[in-house]
Amino acid sequence: MANNRLPEPDFTLGDIPTSPAVHYAEQALLGALLLDPHRVKAIGPLDPSQFSSARHRALYAALASLTPPAPSLHAKEPVWINAVHAHALPHARGLALSYLHTLAAACPQPANAPSYARMVRADHARRTLQAHAEPLIQAATDTALPDPAAVTLTRADSLASLLDRLAAAFPSHPGSLPRTPPPPPPARDTGPDVTSEEQLLLSTAAAYPTALASMRWLRPEDFAIPLHGALYRCLTSLTARGDPVDEVTVLWEAQQHGLLTQAFTAQDALDMLAASAGAPEHWGEQILRRSLLHHAHTAGLHIQAFTHDLSNSPHQLITGSRRALADLTALRARWHHATDQPPTERPRPRPAPASRAGPPTTTRATRAPSVSARSSR
C-alpha cells in the first residue's frame, strides 16, 4: 500500500530561538502569579505551550491548574509556592525551589501581569509563524519530493490557516505593515533542463497555436529565462490579434519587440522554433510548476525575514505575511486551472521544415546550441 503521508518538516517550534526579552517577560509573569495567584484570571487566554522553556511551561501549567490558597493563608505561609513546585517538578526535572523565589524577585510589578502575558503571546506568535515558513521553503526547494507542488500548497494552506488564527488573536490596525525590507527573490533555475523545456514550449506552441487559446493560465513572467517569456508574449500577441502563427511570423513579431540581437539572431530564433516535440500543455505545466515553487520559495523567505526582525509586532507579521502569500494564491488558481482541464485536441504533427539558407553575414555571434542541435547529438 502506497504511503501518502505528507513528509514531516525538518523544523519544529523548538528549533526557533526566542527573543532575548521574552525570557524576562516569562519570568516576570510567573513571578507575578506566584506573588498574587488570583491574577491568573486577568491575563487573558494563555496556554503553557506558548512559553519558551520546559520549566516555564511546567510552572505555568501548575499555576493555571491549581486552586490558589486563601489570601490570608498565602500572606502567612509559603503553601502556594511549595504546591506549584511539587506539581511542576515531575514535568521539569531538576527544577529547584529556589528558582521559584528567583521568579518572584524578578517581577517588577505584579499588577502588570496582563502586559507580560501579551509579550509571551506575541513572541510565541512570531516563533510559530517562523516554524510554518521554514517548511514552506523546504518543500518549495526539495527536488526529492515526488509531488513538490502538492506538498508546497498543503504547507501554504497550513500557514494561511495559522495567519487566520493569529489575526483573530491580534486584530490589525492602521500602519500594520512590517518595517523589514523583504529580501530579493531567489535566483531562478536556468539549467539545461529548464532551458530545453521552455524552448520546447515555444516551438510546440508555434506548431500548434490553437492550444494557446486554452493556455491562458501560462504567462510570460512564469518563464525562468526572460527571453523565452518575451517570445511567448510574441506568440500570444499574434494569437490575440488573429494573425497567422508560424516560425516566420513569430520571428517578425520578435523583431518588432526588439528581441533580436547579436547574441540572439534571427537564425537562432528559427532554430529554436523548428524543434517541436510533445504537447504545449505538457511543457506549459512544467514551466508553471517551477513558477509556483519559485513564488512559494519567495513568500517563505519574505515571511522568514519578517519573523527574524524582532522589532515587528504581531500585527505587522500578520499583514506582511498575508501580502507575501497573495502572489502565490493568485498563481495557485492558475495552477489548478492548468492541471484540471483536459488536453486540447490537435492535428497530427507536421513534418519538420526544410533548412533555410539565412542572409549572408560577415560575422556570427557565438550562441548556445539550440534544442535541435542538442537533439542531433
Q: What radius of gyration, in Å, describes the C-alpha atoms of the chain?
A: 30
* 332: nearest Cα among 211, 198, 134, 156: 156
C-alpha cell at 21: 526579552
Calpha distance 216→232 (Å, rounded): 11
Q: Which residues contact 116 (CB under 8 A, 6 or more apart)?
A: 25, 26, 28, 29, 32, 43
Calpha distance 291→279 (Å, rounded): 19
* Rounded mean pLDDT for each run of 10 residues along the chain, 377 residues in total: 53 68 96 95 94 94 95 91 96 94 96 96 95 95 92 96 93 78 92 95 94 94 97 96 94 96 95 89 96 97 95 93 92 92 46 50 43 40
* Dihedral sign from CA coordinates of 211, 215, 220, 224: negative
The whole model's pTM is what?
Answer: 0.82
Q: Domains in the chain, ordered, with CATH?
A: 13-120 (1.10.860.10), 172-349+364-377 (1.10.860.10)
Tell me the backbone φ, ψ of residue 194, rounded to 5 degrees.
-65, -45
In this prediction, residue 47 carries a pLDDT of: 96
C-alpha cell at 261: 540581437
